[in-house]
Amino acid sequence: MQPVQSHPWTLSAEEAIALQRKLATLVSTEDDLPDPVQTVAGIDLAYNDKQAFAAVVLLEASTCKVQQVVSAEIPVQFPYVPGLLSFREVPAIMRALEKQSVRPDLIVCDGQGIAHPRRFGIACHVGVLYDLPTIGCAKSRLIGKADDPAPTKGSYSELVYKREVVGAVLRTRDNVNPLYISPGHRISVRTALHWILKLTTRYRLPEPTRLADQLVGQIKRKTIGSLFADLNEA
DNA sequence: GCGACAG
DNA sequence: ATCTTGTCGC
């Protein structure tokens, strides 16, 4: 699949911030998903000294069964800067997605959606580029305040930033650290929570992101840069 | 001015 | 993100 739009990627931090403000205008938090959501994709990345690896896992929404896996490798060109994560990860994600034949009905990203200083986390970036519904599912907080949700699975509390509800802190399993859920594009906070819970089985992370995380790790190990270590074991 | 700060 | 085995607790 190809993106609906693109923009330069060789930017300074200042230019990236200006671009985020501009693209944030296109984000929608109104539910606009296919009638039956049939396929869901999970995306995650792994890093090497010089390379970034991205993996996209396509799942059947009703069963969480893997239907397709694509990945890509690309040299890291943008440093990690809180608030500018997408400029470091999206290039690799796009290379992987161009290898994927199916346009998923929903995408779960590892990181924030609108729970971001300029309401444009990585989930929003991916959503706007492909004009697809996306959810930001982060393991920790970037911005906002929230009460600690009850310790039981399904409990959650609103994540508020600048007096506005930008997401929720969700307990996906009993007595485990909660996840930070926020809309990426074409989805509301409530619907995003609904889907994350629906896609969560026996682990803290929902299946799309959990499997993508697990797979990029394997893919990274099978690289020539990591083969030397493997030769010693063999 | 001093912290906090997705992956 | 990444370096990494065993171990404590629900």
Closest nucleotide to A140, Cα to C1': B6
Query: Mind listing the pLDDT tens digit for each residue in A197-225?
Result: 999 999 999 999 999 999 999 999 998 87
Query: Mind listing the pLDDT tens digit for each residue in A153-186?
Result: 999 999 999 999 999 999 999 999 999 999 999 9
User: Is residue A232's pLDDT more than 70?
Assistant: no
The SS3 of residue A231 is: helix
A225 vs A80, residue with greater confidence:
A80
Averaged pLDDT, A141-147: 98
- The rounded mean pLDDT for chain A is 96
A80 touches strand B (CB under 7 A): yes
DSSP strands (E only) in chain A:
39-47, 51-60, 65-75, 106-109, 134-138, 156-161, 164-170, 179-185
| Helix %, strand %, coil % of chain A (to 5) | 30, 25, 45
pLDDT for residue A234: 44
pLDDT for residue A227: 62
Query: Mind listing the pLDDT tens digit for each residue in A103-142?
Result: 999 999 999 999 999 999 999 999 999 999 999 999 999 9
Which residues numbered 141-200 in chain A sit less than 7 A from strand B, measured from CB? Answer: 141-142
A193 vs A227, residue with greater confidence:
A193
- Six-digit token pair at A205? 């992370």
What domains, with CATH codes, occur in chain A? 13-226 (3.30.2170.10)
In this structure, what DSSP letter does residue A148 have?
P
pLDDT for residue A41: 98
Distance, Å, A173 CA → C8 C1': 19
A226 Cβ partners below 8 Å, 6+ apart? A48, A220
Which residues numbered 94-133 in chain A sit less than 7 A from strand B, measured from CB? Answer: 110-112, 116, 121-122
